[in-house]
Every structure is written in C-alpha cells, then in structure tokens.
Amino acid sequence: MTEVVKYFDRERICFLTATSKTEAFYELSRLVAPAVSRPSAEIYTAVSERESQISTYVGDGIAIPHAKLLGAPESVVAVGISRGGISWDGKDGELTRVVVFIVWNDIDHIQLLSKIARLFARESMVTSLLNANSADEVLSALLPTAVEPAPTIPEHNLSIAGITFRAAMHMAREAELQAVLLYPDPLGTLSFLREEDFSYGSPPLFLITQDLNMYPRYEDYQFGEVVQLPYRGLRRRNLVEMSLIYLLSKSRLKKGDKVLNIFGNDETQELDTISYTDVERDFALFFSLSSTKRPRDLEEAVFSRIIQISGEIAEEGREGKPVGTLFVLGSHEEVLKHTQQLVINPFHGYNAEERNVLDPSLEETIKEFSRIDGAFIIRGDGVIMSAGTYVRTNTAVRKVPYGLGARHTAAAAITAVSDAVAIAISESTRKISIFSDGQRVMVF
C-alpha cells in the first residue's frame, strides 16, 4: 500500500462535526479546495451529483464519496472521522463513521479507488481511526508501521512453519519446479524465513496474501512476486484453487508451470501443508476457456473482478441466505439481441464510469441486485449494461451436466450463440460455474 501514501496529508484529515451526509460533503470540500485550486462549492456539487446516482457507502462504517473534477491538477484525498456516526442513506442500522473523500482528474481513478478501498478494508481499521485523537494519529493508523509487530503465536508454530517452508523449497529445487507459492496469513508474520532460504537455484517464491499490510517489511525478503489477492473470507479448502485462478487470469502463472503451495490453518495459526499443482493438468478447463470463443473485448481485470465478486456472493449470500445469479461478460452487442428485461434496468441512465464493476463502491450494489432474478450483462471493459435480464435463445444447449437448472442452461445457451463468457452461481450448492462456447468449462 505504499503507493497510496502520497495521497494522504494531515491538512486534509478532520474530525467531522457533521451529522448528515450533506454537511460532511461541505466540510470535506473545504479541505480539498486548496489542493486543487477550485471553489469548495464546485467540489461539493460534483461529489453530490455523483452520490445522487449511486450510494458510495461500502459497508463496515465506511463511505468513499468521489467525483471527477475537470481541470484538477491531480487526484486528492481527504479523510473525515465521525465518532457519532452519520446515517448515510437515511436507513436504519449501521452508521458511517469514516468518510474517504476523493476528487480526481486522471484516467486511473478506478485503480486509485480500488487501492483506497482495499486499505480501508483492513481489519479493525475503523476502530483504530475512531480511537485517534489527532490528524497525526490518523496518519499513523493509515500508513504501514515501520517495524513488523512481534507475532502473538507460539514459538512451536513458527518452528513448524520454518520446517515446512524449507522442506517445500528443497522439494521444489530437486524437482526443478517453476514456482513456490507461500500463503503466510495464518501466521501473519514472515519471521520464520531465513536469509539462507533464498539460495541460488531456488525457484521464484510468490508471497500470496489477502492483506499485505501484515508484512510491512516484506521487501527485506527476495520474493519473485508479491500478490495481494482481492478475495476475502476464503476457506482453507478453496484458498489455493481461487488463488491459482487469480494468478492465471493475471498471467502470473502460465500453461506448463508446476508449483508447490505452502499454506495452513487460520484457526490454529499453523503453516503446515504443502500441495503440488501441475497447472496444465489441474487447470485444463481454464485453458480450454482461453482457447475457445473467448470475447476479444473482455479485459482480464474484469474477468478476475467478477470471479472475485462471485466468490464472495457464493460464500456470504445475502442476509444469511444463499444467492444464485448469472454474469454474462463481453460481446454485449450480440448478447443483448438475445435478452429482455424482467424488471426495469437499475443501471439505465448512469454514465459508464458510474457503473463499472472495477469501481469498488459498486460492490455492495452488485451483491444486492444479485438477488433479482435474471442476469447481469457486462461489457468487456466492465461497464454493467443491465441487471435483472432474461436470457432467451432458440439454441439447444449441449453438455449441461444433469441436475443444473435454468440459470446454468441460460449460461450455456447465451455462450453458444455469442462469444461471451458466463459465470453462474448455484444457489443450492454455492458452486461457481464458468461457461464458454455453449458448455461448462470450469466449476469450483
């Protein structure tokens, strides 16, 4: 997260006196105005108009209001802390206590939003900010600490982790494997690593984590790749599989690679398991997807983002109940010829940048609309064209496994008549299926 540090300034941190969203916007607009040399009223109007389209409350007491400000010299961030809480959308329940206020004039605003959202999703972040008594203390809570905290885990666990790691590296060298993937989050420390572990001839070591802020001194180690996964709440049984799918979609791994995975148990704080993956053999269906009628306009980041959201929907459901839904990605012009709306399209009328799946503030909206019958139709660059959409084709589907229902049949049908890729979540089994060229090519 060090690349986000430059956006924070103690002069743009305040403890809000606001009791409403409108008042908060006024306060934060005044903080931002000097940095962008624009009137605070202009900033307030831009952010308020954006907010009127789709709420920027992202959950866990955090809101990220933002807007594009033409002519602004750079992206600027302000942070407001509300100890009393603000009712963001006039609904009962959870209050907004941290407001991250962003204006930008660059093409990378979605990447900035993603980085900011990931930083503020750190566990206990809201509590740390509410306990701060000054702007300097807020900055200390936001920025990585200079020294890795001492682990609060038994020395025996660290010893086992070191033995497991060194055994895996020895196996990887002897077998001439292409990579070793290390998932240290069950420990939350890298202190079990030794300098001699990174000997000449060892395969590249990937650090795989869901929160890089746990390892502020990771640069002290010779990692060939550091990957912060966007997935949250993964169970042990699917951690490695989801991670490998993500790495493949990002081209961090390739066909023919053979790797070892080192992971463990969050509950017991142990790093005690080594697994072997032959990428070409174990992910043959992924490469089948890549070699079939994959839409040319589908960006890897969009595919990966929908895989992430699908995993969270399958894991969490909504309000404690399982949810099934369908995402159709790419070739939207051809796809829309075979659809009709079941309900009024909730994304109609919004600017393209306001309805892009890469915008982290849309995540809760997507999850909420996943309860609506029908499919999400998503353009290859991530813009949501519609939700609650009925897929209708006259094409007979083939090779749809027995027992799958209408949602999976629709996924097979729409990919048979177009180059689109479809991702279906089963409400009953919570499994995620990927369809291409009229058939299911992957399930996990």
Contact 279, 256 (CB under 8 A): yes
Residues annotated as catalytic are: 66
Comparing CA positions, the residue from 177, 185, 175 lying closest to residue 204 is 177
- Element housing 372 (H / E): none
- Helices assigned H by DSSP within 265-341: 279-282, 284-291, 300-316, 332-336
- Helices assigned H by DSSP within 353-403: 363-369
Sign of CA dihedral 80, 83, 89, 90: negative
User: How many beta carbons lie within 10 A of that of residue 41, not counting itself?
Assistant: 12
The position carrying tokens 């000097």 is 34
> Which structure tokens are listed for 259?
């790797």
CA within 13 Å, CB half, 87: 4
Contact 374, 385 (CB under 8 A): no
- Helices assigned H by DSSP within 154-283: 155-175, 236-249, 279-282
Contact 357, 302 (CB under 8 A): yes
- Helices assigned H by DSSP within 134-215: 135-142, 155-175
Contact 435, 412 (CB under 8 A): yes
The position carrying tokens 């995993």 is 311
